[in-house]
Amino acid sequence: MTMQARTGSKGDMTSRTQRPLRSAVVGMAVSIACLASPLAQAADDAGWEWMVEPYGWLPSISTDLERTQPPEGGLSTDTRFDDLVDKIDGVFLIHAEGQNEHWGVFTDFIYLGLADDHDRPRFRTETDLDMRLFELAAVWSPGEGRYRGLDVFAGLRYIDVDLTAQLNPENPQFNTTSIDAGDSFNDFMVGARYTWALSERWGLTLRGDGSFGDTEGTWNTSAEAAFRMKHGAWLFGYRYLSIELQTGDNNTDIRFHGPMVGYAFIF
């Protein structure tokens, strides 16, 4: 990842916010490719149950950019959900999973395109964030029954981030300054979740995991309630995700937290 200060214009940021969603399409294709083979093999295997879940996530987002070497300085934004609704450039989220009695696999893909601006004392900030997150993991269930009790999982978390922040001083004697941060990161992910069967149709799942490698660490927790139907399930929950990235003299910390809702097609 590289981050550098430079002079620029608002047109530079506009061109970034209008980038096509080709990265999201690529990520979706990777997810489908990873699932196509096991789904085909499991089609005739009654021991496997599969779930495909498109879902929505409405997070509040905080970003911090900081130089760790002189000259020190940083830029941070803190956007509540109420301020974010009109500033989403694009979003795509999907989760898919399969399990037999003791083993399983899941994948998750998230694309978020966000734009934000703030008026601050003596300058104005404009921030643009594009993030693609892909997870692929194997699951081990030591207990009896699918999607019940304790699950332990391990796998890959891939993160691709493009973050641009522009500072526009009110004083015309000062130049506009832009900070760009963007790169791809591969982490080893490990975590666990526990599912309680509250009734014949209702269930509750708590999940926690972390990943390490190219990033300085990512942390993810969620709570999700499921209402099971004949051929699917409604899912409602809350998720927190923290990503810390560092290269050279720069540190970037991005935090997401907010409610989720989705529908899982089960077959």
Taking alpha carbons only, the member of 54, 55, 53, 35 closest to residue 104 is 35
Which two three-digit tokens encode residue 237?
């929950």
In a structure prediction context, what are the per-residue pLDDT tens digits for the chain, which is 267 residues long? 333 333 344 444 444 434 444 444 444 445 444 544 454 454 445 588 899 999 998 888 887 777 555 545 555 655 444 444 446 666 789 999 999 888 999 999 999 887 777 676 777 777 787 889 999 999 999 987 777 899 999 999 999 988 777 777 777 777 776 667 678 999 999 999 999 999 999 999 999 999 999 999 999 999 999 999 988 999 999 999 999 987 556 678 888 899 999 999 998
The model carries a pTM of: 0.75
Spell out a b/e string for 166-178, using b for 16 or more CB atoms within 10 Å of the CB, else e.
bbbeeeeeeebbb
Can you give the pLDDT at residue 76? 60
Q: Which residues contact 194 (CB under 8 A, 6 or more apart)?
A: 149, 150, 151, 205, 206
Counted domains in the chain: 1
Amino acid at position 8, single letter:
G
Amino acid at position 216, single letter:
E
Can you give the pLDDT at residue 1? 33
CA atoms of 100 and 50, how far apart (whole Å): 9
Intra-chain end-to-end CA distance of the chain, in Å: 41
Exposed/middle/buried for 179, CB within 10 Å: 0-12, 13-18, 19+? buried
Residue 168, domain CATH: 2.40.128
Can you give the pLDDT at residue 9? 42
Can you give the pLDDT at residue 248? 57
Can you give the pLDDT at residue 133? 96
Can you give the pLDDT at residue 128? 80
CA atoms of 243 and 33, how far apart (whole Å): 26
Can you give the pLDDT at residue 34? 53
Can you give the pLDDT at residue 259? 92
The residue segments making up the domain with residue 217 are 2-266
Can you give the pLDDT at residue 97? 95
